[in-house]
Amino acid sequence: MSKIIPFKAVRPTRDKVSLVASRSYQSYTQAEREGRLDYNPYSFLHIVNPGYKYDKEISGVARYQLVKNRYLEFKEEGVFVQDETPCFYIYKIIDRKNQEFNGIVAAASVEDYISDVIKKHEDTISSREVVFKDYLKTVGFNAEPVLLTYPDNDVISSIIKKEQEHRAEYEFTTTFRDTHYLWKIESEDDVQAITDAFTEIDTLYIADGHHRSSSSHLLYQDLKSNNSKHKGTESYNYFMAYLIPESELRIHEFNRLITDLNGLTKEEFLIQLDTLYRIENRGAIPYKPSQKHHFSMYLDGEFYSLYLRKTGYAFKTSLDALDAQVLYSTILNPILGIEDLRNDSRINYISGIKEVVNMKSKVDSGDYKVGFGMVPVAMNELKTIADDGLKMPPKSTYIEPKLRNGITIYEF
């Protein structure tokens, strides 16, 4: 039984939402960030990059306090307003590829996270969790929801479709050519129906936002321990989530880029690969694998297909069958000497939404020696690994949709 509740979102006014909404700070180039900060006074980037006002890089606790100050200024100036009653929010995206995503922004229970009603499939880095927890505690809000997925549900779907017959509260198109829509669900009957529908769902899965949800858990522990009158209804008992049905989730792969061959010549490397893989040289023609346990490799100006010899590799757990784990266990670790996939500077990742020629160009530039591609993780794989209590290697999935920051804000 999952506990999903409505909340009073802080939101931009309708006339300014397209100006406020931003991608994650890290996704912009420096030139893009500066352009938005220079010419758009309403961009949410002004809040998360408060030092720009003083032409100074500011970090740590000092930055957190300035983030809070900028946020309060946006509220004082009427850029942000808070809804008077708790609502669910239907959020729809139609992207440039004409993919459509329909989900609900709501508050998810930290207790569900603790009890594994909300299941995880990726490991998190403790230091990042603590940093983000401290950030949340200082600024007092979260503007980027955790992406959760649930089995398709007729009740929830019918309410979403009914609400979408009315004019959207927001409708705007980004420079990425994605169109975003938002509707408020205020009707007590519909709010209760959605709440009840989620109580019938036994398990939710984190699709994207493992560090955000883990940091919310740490914040909950911190604030609860310091509140002698804790009741379990305080806002810190929940975190903001975007819940989307499994059928609308899109999972892409991350390709791997490696800087060197760990002291091996090209020929020595290929001979070692031959132990566990059937190798075919594809020449200059870009090759993208189409099934599990098949990999593409780009090395020295040529593409190769690698087919795993299953007689030499044992699938003992659901994780063992995951292609990202297969690649690590057979090549990256034993041959190329990469142990720490999160922190080793010799490995980098490029999302599979970019064409395989992007991997080629990265290697051709000389920054990397070899690149590997794989097929995306299937939804049933993600769920099975999470159900088994196992964790995928980092950067195993690139998941869509990607929401804009600053459209709905959850205050603690």
The pLDDT tens digits for 67-123 are 999 999 999 999 999 999 999 999 999 999 899 999 999 999 999 999 999 999 988
Looking at the fold, whether 96 and 242 belong to one and the same domain comes out as yes
Domain check: are 205 and 279 in the same one?
no
Give the model's confidence band at 396: pLDDT under 50 very low, under 70 low, under 90 confident, else very high: very high
CATH code, 296: 3.30.1760
- Domain, as residue range, for 195: 4-250+400-411
pLDDT value for 354: 72
- pLDDT score for 52: 87
Q: Are residues 147 and 57 in the same domain?
A: yes
Query: 291 and 215: one domain?
Result: no
Verify that 232 and 297 share a domain, yes or no. Answer: no
pLDDT at 182: 98
Q: What digits encode the pLDDT tens for the residues 239-259?
A: 999 999 999 999 999 999 999
Residues 324 and 220 in one domain: no
Domain count, the chain: 2
Asked if 186 and 329 sit in the same domain, the reply is no
- With a threshold of 0.95, does the pTM exceed it? no
**16 vs 26: CA distance, rounded Å:** 23
Least Cα distance to 23 among 38, 47, 45 occurs for 45
Q: What is the mean pLDDT of residues 387-397?
A: 93
204 lies in the same domain as 264: no
Query: 250: phi > 0 → left, psi -120 to 50 → alpha, else beta; which?
Result: beta
Lowest mean pLDDT among 48-62, 241-255, 285-299: 48-62
Q: Are residues 190 and 282 in the same domain?
A: no
Supply the pLDDT for residue 311: 85
What would the pLDDT profile of 156-193 be if each residue is shown by its tens digit?
Answer: 999 999 999 999 999 999 988 999 999 999 999 999 99
- Centre a 10 Å sphere on the Cβ of residue 199 and count the other Cβ atoms it contains: 12
Locate 221 and state its tokens: 């522990």
412 and 141 Cβ atoms separated by less than 8 Å: yes
Same domain membership, residue 317 and residue 363: yes
The separation between CA 325 and the C-alpha centre of its own chain, rounded to angstroms, equals 20
Asked if residue 142 and residue 46 are part of one domain, the reply reads yes
Same domain for 227 and 306?
no
